[in-house]
Amino acid sequence: KNEVEQSPQNLTAQEGEFITINCSYSVGISALHWLQQHPGGGIVSLFMLSSGKKKHGRLIATINIQEKHSSLHITASHPRDSAVYICAVRSVDSNYQLIWGAGTKLIIKP
């Protein structure tokens, strides 16, 4: 079992839908990262959070430290949101190295 699990693995939705991607982890962490990998391959950091909630445009990230769970939400989804979304945690149990989830492939259809 991976220390960082994302769900779903794949998600296809219609433009305008509200999207939720989940990340669960089993280690102690100092921070959790959400990143986006575009079809062209580039990786962009979206959020880094250690508690509560952060918002940037149509993207919202939340984390519940007690439940070891984070969600990434996309409101009013658009085809340009199509990408792989990756969760990574900075583990206090592994000398603060990043442990990566496998990613969630999101496709937004027009």
Residue 87's nearest CA partner among 43, 23, 28 is 23
Phi then psi dihedrals of residue 93, to 5 deg:
-85, -15
**Nearer Cβ to another protein (17/46):** 46
What is the smallest separation between the CB atom of 74 and another protein, expressed in angstroms?
A: 19
Q: Which stretch binds another protein (CB under 8 A): 20-28, 51-59, 69-77, 88-96?
A: 88-96
Phi then psi dihedrals of residue 60, to 5 deg:
-135, 130
What is the smallest separation between the CB atom of 110 and another protein, expressed in angstroms?
A: 25
45 binds another protein (CB under 8 A): yes
Q: 1 with 95: CB under 8 angstroms?
A: no
Report how far residue 109's alpha carbon sits from residue 67's, in angstroms, rounded to the nearest whole number.
Answer: 32
The dihedral region occupied by 57, where left means phi > 0, alpha psi between -120 and 50, and beta the remainder, is: left
**Nearer Cβ to another protein (41/110):** 41
What is the smallest separation between the CB atom of 76 and another protein, expressed in angstroms?
A: 25
Residues in contact with another protein by CB under 8 A are 30-31, 33, 35, 40-45, 48, 50, 84, 86, 88, 90, 96-98, 100, 102-103
